[in-house]
Amino acid sequence: MTGVWVFEDGIVRRADNEAPGRGGGSGARPGKVLVHVPSGEVVTTYDVLERRLRELGWERYLNDSCLLQFHQRSTVHLISVPRDFARLKLVHMYDVVVKTRNVFEVRDAVWFVKLE
């Protein structure tokens, strides 16, 4: 099997197979980030995501206690993401990417780390 393997304390594990969001609070995702391509802005909150989706004609759909949903009247597509941004996973990011072709991308977070 390919990938990065780590040997620690007599245990071998695949390092690149860790679940997103384990890096701490506020939706920290050590591996991947959702990026708005035209502006280069990293989506760090749902306010940012909703603002960018509204620019594309998406609007909030139904008020659900567990999900935020966005609908575009000209399509049958529905974007559903967990209401808690900390629970946003890679599958949700790719759902946004697929339904907004060439506007959002999932990229490695390492390129967006701010140096102090």
Q: pLDDT of the chain along its 116 residues, tens only?
A: 555 666 676 676 666 544 444 443 444 445 889 999 999 999 999 999 999 999 999 998 877 778 899 999 888 889 999 988 888 999 999 999 999 989 999 998 876 554 44
Q: Which two tokens stand for residue 66?
A: 């567990």
Note the pLDDT of residue 31: 83
Note the pLDDT of residue 52: 95
Is residue 53 situated within a structural domain? yes
Is residue 9 situated within a structural domain? no
Three-state DSSP state, 81: strand
Is residue 17 situated within a structural domain? no
Neighbours of 65 (CB within 10 A): 5
CATH of the domain at 86: 3.30.920.30
Number of domains, the chain? 1
Neighbours of 7 (CB within 10 A): 8
Full-model pTM: 0.67
